[in-house]
Amino acid sequence: MGHQREKLISLARRLLNHNLNGSTDQADEIMVKSVNDYIDHKIVSSEVNKIFYDYPVPIALSAELKENNSYKATTAIDTPLLITRDETGFVRAFINICKHRGAPVCPEGSGKKSRFNCTYHGWMYDNKGSLINIFKSDTFGDIDTKNIKLTELFCEEKSGFIWACLNPSIKYNLSEWMNGFDEELSDIDLKNWHLFKSIKINGPMWKICWDGYTDGYHHHMVHPETVGKNTIVNLIAHDTYGPHQRFAFGLKNIDELSDIEEKDWEPENHLRLIHSVFPNSSISAIQNEHCLVTIIFPSRDLQETITTQYILCLKEPKTEEEIKKAEDFAELSRAAIVDEDYPINFKIQDFIHSKANKEFLFGRNEPIQQHYHKWIDKLSSK
């Protein structure tokens, strides 16, 4: 029996027992969080500057830079990023800013390219960050180009993600940060999935947004015809790996396993598994065919978030039926967020200053959000 199958059977067993007993995984007590922690700009800004800059965060998928000499230019909060894969397959991340006068060296986008011309004066850099040409260098003046490089960030490729620290002075031990969660992610084999499509979505501010991604208590109200159609509300199996989390929702057919011998179980058909990478990413694999990966960053002013939603397929869809299934999964994923989650999240944000509440509550049956907020407090206080 493979490791992945053993893991899924163990999760299915836990969910089945919970459902038969009317229970769920729980936190030790109710958590109370001040509403001020959501809206005080000084608090939120301090937390973002610590958590999103001083620790490794996913900035892209390996699947986005499949080929050697490929690149992606994007923005995380207020940091323009240039991510490159060189001719040997090695990945690097730079701040996408020319050392001459601060203009981007590459417009946002992705593709195959190993040299990048500054969009202002045409200074040229290679995909290792080195300055290799100054436009009209004979008239510029004497300068040692060997010492001029793009600002490089800590960057490592692991478990299908490209990770970076947005603070260029930070070098981090990624394995230490992952606390064993990299093995969990590696079981998904994300780097070998086919990237079908990706979209960007404007979302609510950071904590309100991420509370939604770690909430299994709202499916019956917000997602009755999408995510919640097949899941049992308030039924989770929850595990933690340092700041990161794995949780599984029981599907409405979970009780069918009572009449099947464990050796004949197909557990992936009876649960929905989520991997939550602190502080900004989520992986949801459905029946080993389609996978939704989400990477979220706060906006520059911290009043919104920018969501990148990736749709991956276990193999590249080629037939009409395969393409339709992928499109249907993409639409389900989009609708659950854009039409259901984010509207209620934006309503919370619209009225969060109304003084109706001084505190928000997280019940014992909401251990996922509780764990997330505990790690915000823990890391931002260092």
Which pLDDT score, from 0 to 100, does residue 2 have? 66
Instruction: Say how many residues make up the chain.
Output: 382
Domain architecture of the chain: domains with CATH: 3-53+180-380 (3.90.380.10), 57-171 (2.102.10.10)
The Cβ of residue 370 has, within 10 Å, a number of other Cβ atoms equal to 22
- In this structure, the strands spanning 124-126 and 115-117 are antiparallel
Contact 5, 264 (CB under 8 A): no
In angstroms, the CA 118 to CA 78 distance is 19
Tens digits of residue pLDDT in 66-111: 999 999 999 999 999 999 999 999 999 999 999 999 999 999 999 9
Tens digits of residue pLDDT in 245-274: 999 999 999 999 999 999 999 999 999 999
In angstroms, the CA 342 to CA 205 distance is 10
Tens digits of residue pLDDT in 166-180: 999 999 999 999 999
User: What is the rounded average pLDDT of the residues 104-128?
Assistant: 96
In angstroms, the CA 309 to CA 28 distance is 33
Contact 312, 330 (CB under 8 A): no
User: What is the rounded average pLDDT of the residues 352-363?
Assistant: 97
Secondary structure letter of residue 257 according to DSSP: G
**Partners of 203 in beta bridges:** 305
3-state secondary structure of 117: strand
Tens digits of residue pLDDT in 206-252: 999 999 999 988 988 988 888 888 899 999 999 999 999 999 999 99
**Partners of 294 in beta bridges:** 282, 309
Inter-axis angle of helices 206-213 and 41-51, nearest 10: 60
